[in-house]
């Protein structure tokens, strides 16, 4: 899928399609890493995703993170240097 709009929009679109979140926050943390390793100068290299989804019910933290990583695999391979994930099921 070609990138359109900001990377935050693309991350949100991918996660919405894959995990149907009930809550989703995509936070650009890149300004905290300006000039550091992994800063590619785009201002879109370091991210935090806070996501709540029914898809996480009964899954371990590691398996929840795998679902998020799978949804963003090609972006993690190139455009995203670092991704912090806070994944929870509804009611947690």
Tell me the per-residue pLDDT of 10-41, one tens digit each, with 9 for 90 and over: 999 999 999 999 999 999 887 665 555 555 55
DSSP SS3 for 26:
strand
Tell me the per-residue pLDDT of 44-88, one tens digit each, with 9 for 90 and over: 678 999 999 999 999 999 999 999 999 999 999 988 888 999 999
Q: Which CATH number describes the domain made up of 7-88?
A: 3.30.300.90
* Contact present, 24 and 51 (Cβ < 8 Å): yes
Domain-wise residue ranges, the chain: 7-88
Q: In what order do the strands lie in the sheet with 23-28?
A: 23-28, 46-52, 82-88
Buried b (16+ CB within 10 A) or exposed e, 45-66: bbbebebbbebbeeeeeeebbe
Kindly report the pTM of this predicted structure: 0.83
């Amino acid at each position: 899928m070609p990138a359109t709009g900001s990377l935050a929009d693309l991350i949100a679109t991918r996660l919405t399609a894959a995990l149907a979140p009930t809550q989703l926050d995509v936070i650009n943390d890149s300004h905290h890493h300006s000039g550091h390793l992994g800063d590619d100068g785009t201002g879109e290299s370091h991210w935090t995703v806070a996501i709540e989804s029914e898809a996480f019910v009964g899954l371990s933290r590691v398996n929840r993170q795998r679902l998020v990583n799978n949804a963003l695999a090609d972006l993690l391979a190139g455009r995203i240097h670092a991704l912090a994930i806070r994944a929870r099921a509804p009611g947690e």
